[in-house]
């Protein structure tokens, strides 16, 4: 939460107005607008959400990243295979659509809570919106931990093969994460699916996949079909409610909690942990 507070400070300063009251009013409206937009994700006529506006990025990080990172941490703690993987001395994770940071922060939160010491973590963060890279570029500098972390941001549009077909190093990742990503691109799934086919076809044998998204059949059925097509073996599957409820950590959000209240705390989710056969 303290790391997210640092990121929020940078994002808050990036919003283009010097009037604090006006800025806070705009953020409040954007928080409400995001909720409406996410409620329309299954509408085939809805357009993918554009995160180029720093106002929208601040709103997303504040409202959703806190909870989604906690969900990732919880799923790792539930799964012995993921815990064992992240206890290695060297781990590579590919965060697909991971620009908002929940994948990276969820992994880091687990490692901090389990007091990892010798692990060297490399996270490849792929996202269409380049500005997300500014949010997480100095994580290694700000994080005071006994392990090493190297975030590598790479801009990528899943609907444009010219932006991803030349990337190859990430395919050797030990873990691929998809945190609320398929729902973001569901409306354009015909154009996005070749990217997922490419990843799952070329990932290494024994590599793991962690999927979490809104508990809607249109999203998890799509993932299940991709997993079946590429012979991903199920390790852990569920549809459940996850809750972030650490009351003590709200103070780490400082003035933002006083201004904007609680971030998202509870989610009805579908999750899958898979292994490449």
pLDDT in tens, 60-100: 999 999 899 999 999 999 999 999 999 999 999 999 999 99
Which tokens hold the place of 181?
A: 């990503």
- Residue 50 CA neighbour count, 13 Å, CB half: 4
Strand partners, 108: none
Give me the pLDDT at residue 142, please: 75
Mean confidence (pLDDT) of the chain: 91
Lowest mean pLDDT among 5-9, 118-122, 123-127, 267-271: 5-9
H-type alpha helices, the chain: 2-14, 20-38, 54-60, 66-78, 80-85, 102-113, 132-136, 139-142, 189-202, 217-229, 255-260
Instruction: Please give the tally of structural domains in the chain.
Output: 1
Which tokens hold the place of 155?
A: 């801009």
What DSSP state is assigned to residue 155? E
**Looking at residue 245, which CATH number applies to its domain?**
3.40.50.150
Residue 165 belongs to what domain range? 2-276
Buried b / exposed e along 254-269 (16+ C-beta atoms within 10 A): eebbeebeebbeebeb
Mean pLDDT of 177-204: 96
Give me the pLDDT at residue 206, please: 97
Residues written for the chain: 277
Place of tokens 């997300």: 132
Quick: pLDDT tens for 22-47: 999 999 999 999 999 888 888 877 77
CB 103 within 8 Å of CB 185: no
Which tokens hold the place of 74?
A: 């919880």
Strand partners, 121: 91, 149
Give me the pLDDT at residue 144, please: 74
Mean pLDDT of 209-222: 97
Q: How confident is the model at residue 246 (pLDDT cuts 50, 70, 90)?
A: low
Angle at 92 between CA 86 and CA 98, to 5 degrees: 100
Which tokens hold the place of 43?
A: 């509408």
Q: How confident is the model at residue 49 (pLDDT cuts 50, 70, 90)?
A: confident
C-alpha R_g of the chain: 18
Which pTM value belongs to this model?
Answer: 0.93
Q: How far apart are CA 275 and CA 277, in angstroms?
A: 6
Residue 245 has pLDDT above 70, yes or no: no
Give me the pLDDT at residue 168, please: 92
């Amino acid at each position: 939460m303290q790391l997210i507070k640092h990121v929020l400070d940078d994002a808050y300063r990036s919003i283009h107005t010097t009037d604090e009251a006006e800025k806070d009013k705009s953020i409040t409206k954007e928080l409400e607008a995001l909720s409406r937009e996410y409620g329309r994700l299954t509408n085939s006529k809805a357009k993918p959400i554009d995160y180029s506006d720093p106002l929208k990025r601040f709103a997303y990080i504040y409202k959703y990243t806190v909870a989604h990172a906690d969900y990732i941490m919880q799923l790792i703690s539930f799964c012995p295979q993921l815990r064992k993987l992240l206890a290695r001395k060297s781990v590579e994770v590919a965060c697909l659509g991971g620009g908002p940071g929940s994948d990276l922060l969820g992994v880091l939160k687990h490692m901090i809570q389990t007091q990892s010491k010798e692990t060297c973590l490399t996270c490849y963060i792929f996202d269409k919106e380049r500005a997300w890279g500014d949010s997480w570029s100095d994580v290694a500098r700000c994080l005071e931990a006994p392990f090493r972390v190297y975030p590598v941001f790479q801009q990528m549009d899943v609907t444009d093969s010219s932006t991803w077909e030349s990337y190859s190093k990430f395919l050797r990742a030990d873990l691929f994460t998809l945190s609320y990503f398929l729902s973001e691109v569901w409306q354009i799934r015909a154009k996005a699916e070749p990217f997922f086919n490419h990843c799952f076809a070329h990932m290494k044998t024994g590599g793991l996949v962690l999927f979490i998204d809104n508990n809607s059949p249109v999203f998890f059925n799509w993932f299940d079909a991709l997993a079946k097509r590429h012979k991903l073996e199920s390790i852990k599957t569920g549809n459940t409610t996850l809750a972030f409820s650490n009351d003590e950590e709200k103070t780490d959000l400082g003035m933002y909690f006083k201004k904007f209240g609680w971030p998202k705390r509870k989610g009805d989710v579908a999750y899958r942990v898979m292994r490449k056969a």
